[in-house]
Every structure is written in C-alpha cells, then in structure tokens.
Chains A and B, each alone.
Chain A
Amino acid sequence: MEYKISNRLRIGAIVLIVLGLFGVSYGFMDAHSVTEENITEFLANEDHHGASHAEEGHSDAHAEAKAHMEDGHGAADAHGAEHVNEDHGMSHEEHVLHQIHNRPWSALYVAAFFFFMIALGVLAFYAIQYAAQAGWSPVLFRVMEGITSYVLPGGIVVILIAFFAGDHIFIWMNPEVTDPNSVHYDALIDGKSGWLNKTWFIVRAVLFLAGWSVYRYFSRKFSVAQDQAESNDKRYFKKNFRISAAFLVFYIYTESMMSWDWIMSVDPHWFSTLFGWYVFASMFVSGITVIALITIYLKSKGLLEFVNDSHIHDLAKFMFGISVFWTYLWFSQFMLIWYSNIPEEVTYFITRIEDYNLPFFGMLVLNFIFPLLLLMNSDYKRIPWFVVMAGVVILCGHYIDIFNMIMPATVGDRWFIGIPEIGSILLFGGLFLLVVFTALGKYPLLAKGNPFIKESEHFHY
C-alpha cells in the first residue's frame, strides 16, 4: 500500500513546530527576564503573592539555605547548579536564579529525549522481532521503520541540547566543580570525572548514536531490498536477522550507558544499578504504544487492510505487559532505596516525594493502574479507540516519568508544566510527526519480501 504524507498532516506538524518554537523562545525570554539585578525583587514579589514558599518562611534567605544544608545532599542535588554548603555560601537568590535559568533548557531536554526514546524503543522492538523471527509482526515492519527514522535526527538534537545546555542540566559540566581551587569544587564529582567529562561524554554520545543509526540504516536498506529480491532469495532477510541479533547486544550495553550519561548524571551524587533497565522499560513501552497508535491511524485511513484486530490485540498485550514491567522496575528501584534508607541514595526520592509529589505518584496511576485496568480484558484490547485511549495515557505517563528524572535535579521545587514545557512538547512532537510520516511515505507499507509476511497477514489470535 502506498502512503504519502497528506498536506494536512504536514502543515499540522509545521504549525506544531512553529507554536513550539514560540513557546520555547518565550520560555528562554521569561527565564532571562529574571537576572542578578532583579532577583531579590522577584522573590519578594513572589512572597507577597502568597506563593507556596511564603509559608515555609522563604523570605529569610539564610533560613532557607540552612534548611537545605540540613537535609544534606538531597537539597544540593536538587538544586542543580552548585553544591550548597557552608564553605560555598551560595545565597538563596543565586540558587533560585540558577533554577529559573535551568528551566527552559530542561524543558527542551525532557521533550527532546522523550520523543527520541520513543524512536529508539521502537528500534529495539523491531530488532527483537527480527531476531526472534516473529510470525505476527512483519506486517508492521514498515510502520516501525517509519518511526525509527527519527532516531538519527532526534538523537542529534538531544546531544546538541546536552552540549549547549552544559551546566544548566549537567552540573558536572561546569569546569569549576572539578577545580580544587574553586569555591565550587566538588570532590565527589571530581572523583567521577574520569567518566563524566564533557569531551568523553560527547564522544560516547556520538558513538552510541552512530551505532544505532548504522543498524537502522542497514536494516531499512535490507528490508527494502528484500522486497525487490527474487521470491526464493532470502539473503537480505538473513542479513537482517544477523545484524539485528548483533544490534541487540550492542544496544543493551549502550542503552544502559546512555541512561547513565544522559539521565542519571543530572544527579551526579546519586547512582542506581537498575537505572538502565528502568529507562529501557520506559522507552520500550512508549515505543510500542506509538507503533499501536500509528498503526491504528493508518488503518483508519484504509492503508493497512492486512493488519487485523489480532495485530492490535498483540500490540495492546505488549503495552499492558511492558507497563507492568516498567512498574516492577520503578518499584524495585524505589522500594530498595526506601527500605534501606541510606542517606546518599535516598535523597533522590526525598526531593521527588517532597517537591514532585503529584507527578511522582501520579505517573504510577497513568503508567500502571490505567493500563492494568483498561487493557486487562481481552476484548478491550481489540477495540481501537480503547487502545488509543490507553496509549495516550501511557504516553503522558512516560513524559512525566522523564520529567521526574530530569527536573528535580535542575529546577528543584520551581517546576511547573507551563509554556516552556508544553512548547517543547509541541516542537518535538511536530518534528517527530514530520520525520516519521515523511519516512512512512517512502516505501510501500507492506514488507512483501519478508518470508514471514504470509503468516503475518493471516495472523489470528
């Protein structure tokens, strides 16, 4: 089936990008309207307006700074820019100013990573389907290949944001924290600087992205070449099988390291061993959800008549199962740290529970309770609007998941899902739609050369 991106969709995506750019620029201007000169006035106004801070007695900057010292690393981590302790004596004003200036960068980074991770999750799912020689999924391969076309552009954008944001997101990128003569010197970060330094970070990021993109390029190439091949010439399929197996090995290492680099290092005083898996579960379930959403969209246009409700059912089962898997990892990470309550680990969750209570526990409802109850019934998994509804909830939940990973480290308690955040979502959402649907229009929507395609077309559960 041929598909061409419709003008309406293209214009819609461009409108989203333009709106998003406005939102992002507004975010930067708004953040930079607060400067060192007017920060005192800004905070005073905020207190007059009776913001939540007033009751905590924020008007006294010193009391606040002291409170931070008392809850130890948590506050220091949460407040991103620099380590607060007696020696440094960073004022409350300076500290808040950093948070305000970090916000548009973090908003941009969260949204960029969210859409990138969808494409990367789909790439992993696609490779698994090849390596497992799944019989049900080949009719969906072209949809998956369309989505993975966002891996390269999306990944480049994430790396660029990380590079230019520097210490607005990653405090260890500030050269002063590893300089023993600086007042901002941080021995813990300095100890990790063998891994966490800007050059090596960028080199790793480029290597990871290059590896994923090379696999993506060749698997797409072989998949298309198999369509043109003679009917009993399965060379390209075999090649795809082999590179998929190799990619999965490469992926599971690099994905893990990527999650330390791109996400965990925003809290450089904190570490968790199952973090890579946790991020993987998040990207995997969002990716599968997007496959289901785009499949349902294209099917509703009458372009995928070889996709039947058993395929939707299978995707919905994956959405259900991987949502539970995500919850399992979330809980394992949370419960182990909560239970042992070791100060250097538990601060991560203390800041999240105190400052991000609603998003932190709300995402459990979106990512676990909703999919659990909506997608448990076998009949519901075959109803497209039901799957779409569950899918939208899951995607919102996983955006908030990424939000919860980045924001507490960069903006602390000054978070809000406002214009900078929504603008960034629109910007990257539009870019994602544009790239994905343009790629979907390049080749027929049925990978007819795949040896499992007949089985897949007749797949019935």
Chain B
Amino acid sequence: MEASKVIHAIYTDDDVLMSAVKKVKAEKHHIEEIYTPFPVHGLDKAMGLAPTRLAITAFLYGCVGITVAVTMMNFIMIEDWPQDIGGKPSFSYLENMPAFVPIMFELTVFFAAHLMVITFYLRSRMWPFKKAENPDPRTTDDHFLMEIAVHDNEESLTNLLKETGAVEINIVDNDEDAH
C-alpha cells in the first residue's frame, strides 16, 4: 500500500543513523528506504534486509559458462573437424582436455562475472539515461536520509525521529517525491 505522504529524516553521521535505524525498527515502523553517500557497514543487518542471492546466481552462471566452453570445444575440435594439429590427440575430448582447460576456465569466469553484473543492474534497476531517484542531492555527499511512510501518525513519528538525532525532518507528498 502506497502512503500518500512520507517523512524524510536527515542525519549527518552514520553512527547516529545506525542507532536511529535500530530505534525505529524497535518501534515497529517500516523503513521505506535509506539513502547514504557510502556503504554503512551493518546497515542491511540493522534494517533486517534479506541477504543477497547474487553469489548463487554467479555460481550458476559459471556452470553455464563451463558448459558452453566444453560443448563448443568438443563440437569444433573433436566432432566437427578432428584434424591432427601438431600431434595433439583429437580422438576424444578427455584426451585433449588439458589444451581446453584455459578456455574452460576463462569462459567460466567470463560468464560468472558478466552475467552477475548484468543481474545486479537489472535487479537494482540501473541503466544509462535512467532518471536518478534521489530525494535530496546532499545524500550523495555527506547526509544520510531515512524515508518512512506516514499512516496518520505524523506527529508521533516526527517526535520519535527527532529523538533519534535527526537534524532535519521533512514531510513530503508522495507525488512530489523524486521517484
């Protein structure tokens, strides 16, 4: 459910932000988003975000890569045209395998790395000419912004956030919001 209004609480220190996150979570408010200029160690844990599965996808992409390499080299070098090139045994894949290992290795890494990066871009919706989703330009420099949806609890939420050390609290209509 989209709320019509959100609160933007701005912090200037990552330690303050971390304790604020813990407090807001303890009060059972749902944090929509947090904008930081740099990775804050442990923030994902404090927010209770699920761990990433990017590494698992990379492993699977690697498996695809090695399959592509083996299939390709087996077809080209063994099945399609098994020429004698410098006395290398092209009777079966296994017999000539050491020569294919560098290709198998590189394609595994290539597939794992590139497909994982592309997966990352897709999952985090990043592409060229994408409109930046930044509610406040200062969050790319030295400010931290926590966004919480308002459900008729504007006042108590504002007070809670003030207590946590927010230097600035703005209430923003959702349609005015940058995204």
Contacts and interface: CB of A to CB of B under 8 A. Distances in A.
B98 A341 contact: no
A376 B98 contact: no
Looking at chain A, what size class is its interface with the partner chain? Answer: under 10
A133 interface: no
Nearest to B59: A376
Nearest to B87: A341
A331 B99 CA distance: 11
B49 interface: no
A160 interface: no
B30 to A, nearest CB: 28
Interface in A6-33: none
Contacts of A376: 59
B101 A335 contact: yes
A378 interface: yes
B87 A338 contact: no
Contacts, number: 12
Q: Is the interface of B mostly helix, strand, loop or mixed?
A: helix
A297 interface: no
Contacts of B50: none
B1 interface: no
Contacts of B59: 376
Interface string B55-84: 100010000000000000000000000000
Interface in A322-348: 331, 334-335, 338-339, 341
B55 A331 contact: no
Contacts of B98: 331, 334-335, 338-339
A212 to B, nearest CB: 35
A376 B112 CA distance: 14
B55 A378 contact: yes
A100 to B, nearest CB: 34
B5 to A, nearest CB: 39
Contacts of A334: 98
A331 B87 CA distance: 20
Given A376-B59, A378-B55, A339 B99 contact: yes
Contacts of B55: 378
Interface string A372-394: 00001010000000000000000
Contacts of A339: 98-99
Contacts of B87: 341
A372 to B, nearest CB: 11
A460 to B, nearest CB: 10
Contacts of A335: 98-99, 101
Interface of B: 55, 59, 87, 98-99, 101
12 contacts: A331-B98, A331-B101, A334-B98, A335-B98, A335-B99, A335-B101, A338-B98, A339-B98, A339-B99, A341-B87, A376-B59, A378-B55
Given A331-B101, A334-B98, A335-B98, 9 more contacts: A331-B98, A335-B99, A335-B101, A338-B98, A339-B98, A339-B99, A341-B87, A376-B59, A378-B55
List 6 tightest A-B contacts by C-beta distance, closest first: A335-B98, A338-B98, A331-B101, A339-B99, A335-B101, A339-B98
